Structure 1
Amino acid sequence: MSNYLDWQNKISSDRKIVPLFYIADFSISPVDKIVKEEEEKVNLCNYTDVYKNTYITSDLEFMEGSASENEINRFQIYDGDVLITKDSESWDDIGIPAIVVGNFQNTTLCGYHLALMRPKKNLVNPKFLFYCFESKKHRTQLEIEATGVTRFGIPKDAIGKYKIPLPSLELQNKIVEYLDREIVKIDSLIEKKTKLIALLEEKKKTVINEAVTNGLDTTVTMKNSGIEWLGKIPKHWEVVKLKYFIDINYGLSQPPEYFDTGTPLIRATNIFRGKISKKDMVFIDADQLKSNKKIILKKGDIIIVRSGAYTADSAIIDEEFENSIAGFDMVIRSKNDLFSNFLAYVLLSDYMLNRQLIPMRIRAAQPHLNAEEVGSTTLIKPSLEEQKLIVQKLETFFQKNKESINLINNSINLLKEKRTTIISAAINGEIAL
């Protein structure tokens, strides 16, 4: 971080370094999401609107809120305003910009956790100011000013002192034209590659569902499953209730004390589409819980989220998380002739997840599942030998799929690096226009 202002020594002689307060009026919005009857109804441009969009336009779906007359006067957004994220759960998400384009029929305000900048158009092209925040090299100024532990924020004076390499308005306009032309090409490539990853992810779902409902042999004789929405299945497969082939236990009933190190506690937030994420993982002292052996996870155990937004999501325990502790969800352990890895794929399939588990979880106001409901689901079961062959085939496919996604992600990262390099170089005068 010691070299975060090195770019100042590299700017061309036709630029002067000025603080943001010299070229723009700025303020931090206090307008929250609480609707008050005595206030005027407004639309709120919130954190996610800025974080996810380059342009803030009237066709975005804004949240409805309310504001006082003073707040409306101070924080109503107009064409050319630049908004940045002021607070975030991650310090490197500080200062992410979006620019307001066009005017708004409805009163729309800059919301909480954001800062609003109104460029002085006789000094700075609003889009040039936007690019000064798009540049990772320049935005580092704000990142190092961020304070906090679980949530980070930047003080108002740090925004005002943000250093801008300012050329003439004429040159700013040329830089904006150049960057608009070049960045749209890069962004278009990134978008295409991102869509390709989404297609590969969607392909995984299709392959799973096909394998666990039809098997691997396309020539096998089929029979009517007896379930209308399921249709035909291989003739030699059984239609059974899941409860006869599994044991279900619940995890912890009360949260234990958390530590920075120790035994991982697998919670709902760590489970996503069959995988266990280490992000936001907490640790406990397992010695305090040894008496409850049911919550100590074994390889092949499957955790299924039983309540909240992630209800019905699941993941299988591999060697890395063996002997971890189950959080507050259900632990499924296969028995008899049901292969746990096969069951893990079944729980991710359309016929189990979307046709059975998800409809169960939305019956009540608060999404939830219980052991009886999970056990009552229909399982289409091939022989144990065939289950293992299906898993082997799926794992081979997923390995190739993962390699393809990794290659695409690497190319996206290179494009993003090129993007920020071009922006920084243009702003600093390292590119001849």
Structure 2
Amino acid sequence: MFKKYDAYKNSGIDWIGEIPASWDVKRLKAPLAERNEKNDPIKTDFILSLTMHQGVIPQSEKTGGGNKPKEDLTAYKLARPNDIVLNSMNVIVGSVGLSKYFGVVSPVYYMLYVRDESKTNIGYYNYIFQSQAFQKNLGRLGTGILIKKSEASGKLNTIRMKISMDDLNNELLPIPSFCEQNEIVDFLDRKTLEIDQAIAIKEQQIALLNERKQIVIQKVVTQGLDPNVPMKDSGVEWIGEIPEHWKISKIRYLGATQNGISAGGDYFGTGHPFVSYGDVYKNRVLPETVEGLAKSTLSDQKSFSIQEGDIFFTRTSETIDEIGFASVCFKTIENAVFAGFLIRFRPFLKSPLIKEFSKYYFSSPMMRAYFVKEMNLVIRASLSQELLKNLDVLLPSIKEQKEISEYLDDLTDKIENAVLIKYSEIDKLKEYKTTLINDAVTGKIKVA
């Protein structure tokens, strides 16, 4: 339990409420100034990026490529070590960080530095910008809301709200003494590091659980449940040995493929159910109720229908990493159509492949390895029907497929429940971190 200050007073600031009686209230422009230095003439070609989770980082760490400029860097602004860098479009959702580098940033960023280092700890003000209470408060200053219609789902999304530097300059902030600022920064540096480390451990545990799940799925859908069954070479390099009595077939002999519907933006947003790229990418089993809507005709609904047993594959994306994900339809969605970014595979009547087995087989890691190896990436990654038709499918007996799916249902339920518990623990840690930052920078707790 943290201590409180001896006396408090009304700050006159809605998002803060009461502050310690010894603290002051001043506008942001009193302790901080904007650094508005252009990179003209060129002083550096070291490009910085700002991310919500990593803060200010070299662009090469974000992209994985070289730190090479792709445009005229004279339009960029300079950021120096110990500058607060914030995105004028996204600061209200936490796009802000303290720079450790000398580099250039996008013209939409603001850089703030302290006017007097003998009276001001920049870290304290960085933590104010990290406070969700302060970020929420800044929402009232946002202008120029940008609305964008998603091509895949037809939904309208609010993207950004720009905040002017003039408005920021006039925001009232709590001002502790320089000594207290140092104590708050030292406390929050230590505590947030401990919390971040605890979160990282739980994220690693989640990754290991998910990895174990994928390993078991792949082993069971290729080798079955009986460890003593005689094995044979499948004849497919990426599959390896399989049970001797299992069959194998190209998917082209098991059903028919069909690309989804392509239409302009006006087609989406109202009308009948529309299965989007996201519905398939995020789910092993297709949701029975989807959010997307499309103005589909009866002809569209006949050609691009969604029936029980259908398997949908993500067909095209900016990167190869998002291609070939599969989702199985367990219940027919009436009057629905599906996106042009998808391929539908519809098994023939009396197919030797059941939907319960399909949901695990087509989501196994070896499927991803197959698609990545075989696909040609030019401008956009794309899965062709011909490549999909050439996919090898293992066919245990219907009885074995049911046994395998029941075993995997039980195992994945247990693992996914364990993962949910870890996510819940992470959420509580993040909530604690948020509360700690807010309480420390507003004087609700005394840290020393």
Say yes or no: TM over 0.5.
Answer: yes
Partner of 1:135: 131
Per-residue CA distance 1:153-201 (angstroms, 9 max, x = gap): 2221332233321111111001111111111111111111111112222
CA shift at 1:209, angstroms?
0.8
- Aligned residue type for 1:129: Y
Structure 2 CA distance for partners of 1:92 and 1:277, relative to 1, 3 Å = farther
Task: Determine the C-alpha separation between the residues in 2 that align with 1:300 and 1:144.
Answer: 49
CA shift at 1:124, angstroms?
2.1
User: 1:249 touches 1:332 (CA, 8 Å); kept in 2?
Assistant: yes
Partner of 1:23: 31
Partner of 1:181: 190
Match of 1:81 among 70, 80, 83: 83
Per-residue CA distance 1:125-173 (angstroms, 9 max, x = gap): 1111110011111221223323313321222133223332111111100
- Aligned residue type for 1:96: S
Task: Determine the C-alpha separation between the residues in 1 that align with 2:270 and 2:126.
Answer: 42
CA shift at 1:324, angstroms?
3.0
User: 1:29 touches 1:110 (CA, 8 Å); kept in 2?
Assistant: no
CA shift at 1:244, angstroms?
1.0
CA shift at 1:344, angstroms?
3.0
Per-residue CA distance 1:43-100 (angstroms, 9 max, x = gap): 2222xx332314547995674325565x56xx22211101123224xx852x432111
Task: Determine the C-alpha separation between the residues in 2 that align with 1:68 and 1:377.
Answer: 47
User: 1:19 touches 1:162 (CA, 8 Å); kept in 2?
Assistant: yes
Partner of 1:284: 294
Higher mean displacement: 174-183 or 302-311: 302-311
1:155 and 2:163 are equivalent in the alignment: yes
Structure 2 CA distance for partners of 1:374 and 1:431, relative to 1, 3 Å = same
Q: Give the unaligned 5+ runs of structure 2.
A: 1-11, 148-157
1:332 and 2:328 are equivalent in the alignment: no
Q: Give the unaligned 5+ runs of structure 1.
A: none
Partner of 1:11: 19
Q: Percent identity?
A: 24
User: 1:221 touches 1:235 (CA, 8 Å); kept in 2?
Assistant: yes
Structure 2 CA distance for partners of 1:40 and 1:246, relative to 1, 3 Å = farther
1:119 and 2:114 are equivalent in the alignment: yes
User: 1:334 touches 1:340 (CA, 8 Å); kept in 2?
Assistant: no
Partner of 1:400: 414
Task: Determine the C-alpha separation between the residues in 1 that align with 2:212 and 2:182.
Answer: 44
Give TM-score, length-normalised by structure 2: 0.82
**1:179-218 pair list within 5 angstroms:** 179-218=188-227
User: 1:84 touches 1:116 (CA, 8 Å); kept in 2?
Assistant: yes
Task: Determine the C-alpha separation between the residues in 2 that align with 1:14 and 1:205.
Answer: 57
Partner of 2:392: 378
Partner of 2:68: 64
- Aligned residue type for 1:330: I
- Aligned residue type for 1:316: V
User: 2:352 touches 2:395 (CA, 8 Å); kept in 1?
Assistant: no
User: 1:307 touches 1:368 (CA, 8 Å); kept in 2?
Assistant: yes
Higher mean displacement: 113-122 or 171-180: 113-122
- Aligned residue type for 1:222: M
User: 2:25 touches 2:172 (CA, 8 Å); kept in 1?
Assistant: yes
User: 2:306 touches 2:337 (CA, 8 Å); kept in 1?
Assistant: yes
Task: Determine the C-alpha separation between the residues in 2 that align with 1:304 and 1:119.
Answer: 53
Give TM-score, length-normalised by structure 1: 0.85
Give the RMSD, CA atoms, in angstroms: 3.0
- Aligned residue type for 1:206: I
Per-residue CA distance 1:364-387 (angstroms, 9 max, x = gap): 443212222211111121111211
Q: How many residues align?
A: 410
1:110 and 2:123 are equivalent in the alignment: no
User: 2:195 touches 2:433 (CA, 8 Å); kept in 1?
Assistant: yes
Partner of 2:150: none
